[in-house]
Amino acid sequence: METHSNSDICRWADDRLAALDPDSQWQPDAGRAFAKLNLRLAAGRRRSMERTWITAGLAAVLASVLLFPAPRMLAYQLLQTLTGHGGKGADSSSAGIAPADARARISPQADRSKAPGLRLRDGSGKLVDLADFQGRVVLMNFWATWCAACDWEIPMFSELEKEYESRGLSVVGISVDEDWPAVKAYIDRVGMSYITLLGNDASARLYGVQAFPRTFILDRHGRIAADHGTVMTRKEYESEIRSLLEEP
Amino acid sequence: MNARSEAVTKVGNRDAPLDLEAIFRLRYCRIARVIARVIRDPGRSEELAVEVFLKWSRNPKAQGSRADGWLYRTAVRMGLDELRRASRRSRYGFLLGIIGGPPTPEQIRSDREDQERVRSVLGTLKRRQAGLLVLRSEGLSYDELASALGLNPASVGTLLSRAQHAFRREYTRRYGNP
């Protein structure tokens, strides 16, 4: 076997690698290359600035959606429209209930239909009939413990009931959870002050409820005066309630 | 120190503000030459050298006293990556770019063949061994090699010798006894 000393191999490798010497005529153009480098750096800075602005814009939109009710409501409505839940997209074929519309105001008295009868149990097991509220304006809210938008509305309904109860308003919450311990824990946590009934699929179907929250306002004669399939502001609810309370 | 080599000077204090243009003008040609040793295309070598400086300018850890070593190391790595990419392309028949292209009279000259043989062997060696051979052939001293590749200066000779043996072994395996 042929053997070679280290120095032989070193020389041999150097000879081979010398083949890689660049052409002696070739001289890299540092000036042009530096101009190219500056262009790349400027483009990078521009992209970075754009990213910063986009991130700041998204953060501002997110913050306003989270912190302020009006944009939060708009976002929620948009989400509902896009996903086809609630709003005009809700299927309300049963019981002759008209589709919910966030913008709908209370309907004229002549157009109002009788609210379907409803008998549900409260937390203590007592049967409560919707007809018991005849002569009062009823704000009936279908909700669920897992519904994020309901979290926002329920404290507002408690406040509305406190303020308008003496003038003839009753707020009735209908939970569709069918799990009283979970509902009870929720009521205690949120501090719901109004009556809560345990609903189910059948009661939700009766009112054409497919998405939550869904809120109906009944006039003093037990007729549906307003139907909201989305989150509304306190001001909007208040104006409708006042108007119904003033009706004969 | 090798006459062809520029001294691997410390191109600045870590705390000093980065003078990109000064360092670029001082090092660019050398970096482009190192890359050109690994790949054939001088134009592409210049582009890759700009890439090296672009990466360097965005990496604060590589600046200051570590700049030289980082620049050489990255130049060799990018050159070898480009070489390996081109080898893969040519393996699948796409003879384009730095290794490929239609043969020209110049390419069929024996010195060109020898260059391609050396490059193809370098492309198969370990990255550190290939880096040692390329930078040594560019004329870097043992101290400069140690600084550029982050090696103990005392072991550069041994590592270089191993790299040369590995280079010869692979060359012989591929192209027969020289």
Q: What is the mean pLDDT of residues A92-115?
A: 62
Prediction ipTM score? 0.70
On whether any CB of chain B is under 8 Å from the CB of A27, the answer is: yes
A169 beta partners: A137
CB A245 within 8 A of CB A164: yes
List, for residues B117-165, the tens digit of each pLDDT value.
Answer: 888 888 888 988 999 999 998 888 898 889 888 889 899 999 999 999 9
Closest CB to A30 among B24, B111, B119 = B24
Closest CB to B50 among A2, A9, A33 = A33
Q: Which residues of A touch B171 (CB under 8 A)?
A: 16
pLDDT above 90 (res A169): yes
User: For A148, how many CA atoms within 13 A lie in the half-sphere containing its CB?
Assistant: 7
Q: What is the mean pLDDT of residues A83-87?
A: 53
CB A141 within 8 A of CB A205: no
d(C-alpha A100, C-alpha A228), whole Å: 5
Which secondary structure element, helix H or strand E, spans residue A27, and what is its range? none
Residue B142: C-alpha distances to residues A56, A82, B62, B146, B160 (Å): 51, 67, 21, 6, 9
Return the biggest CA–CA distance within chain A. Answer: 117
CB A91 within 8 A of CB A208: yes
d(C-alpha A115, C-alpha A118), whole Å: 9
- The residue in chain A having the minimum alpha-carbon distance to the alpha carbon of residue B53 is A37
Tell me if residue A225 falls in helix, strand or coil: strand
On whether any CB of chain A is under 8 Å from the CB of B56, the answer is: no
The pLDDT, as a whole number, for residue A98 is 40
Q: Which residues of B touch A34 (CB under 8 A)?
A: 21, 24-25, 28
Residues A6, B161: C-beta atoms closer than 8 Å: yes
Q: Per mean pLDDT, which range of A99-113, A114-128, B149-163 is the poorest?
A: A99-113
CA angle B113, B79, A38 (to 5 degrees): 130
At A233, give phi and psi (nearest 5°): -85, 160
On whether any CB of chain A is under 8 Å from the CB of B152, the answer is: no
The pLDDT, as a whole number, for residue B91 is 59
Q: One-letter amino acid identity for A50? A: E
- The residue in chain A having the minimum alpha-carbon distance to the alpha carbon of residue B112 is A19
Interface test with B, best of A2, A3, A5, A16 (most B CBs within 10 A): A16
At A143, give phi and psi (nearest 5°): -145, 175
Residues A20, B33: C-beta atoms closer than 8 Å: no
- The residue in chain A having the minimum alpha-carbon distance to the alpha carbon of residue B113 is A19
DSSP string, A143-179: E-TT-HHHHHHHHHHHHHHHHHGGGTEEEEEEE----
List, for residues B8-36, the tens digit of each pLDDT value.
Answer: 444 444 444 467 888 898 889 999 999 99
d(C-alpha B63, C-alpha A214), whole Å: 62
Q: For residue A244, give both structure tokens.
A: 């119904």
List, for residues B84-123, the tens digit of each pLDDT value.
Answer: 887 776 655 544 445 545 555 555 555 677 888 888 888 8
Could you tell me what percentage of chain B is helix, strand and coil, using 3-state DSSP and rounding each to the nearest 5?
A: 70, 0, 30
pLDDT above 90 (res A172): yes
Q: Which residues of B touch A20 (CB under 8 A)?
A: 37-38, 115, 118-119, 134, 137
List, for residues B28-66, the tens digit of each pLDDT value.
Answer: 999 999 999 888 788 899 999 999 999 998 888 888 777
Q: For residue A57, give both structure tokens.
A: 């814009």
A178: left (phi over 0), alpha (psi -120 to 50) or beta: left
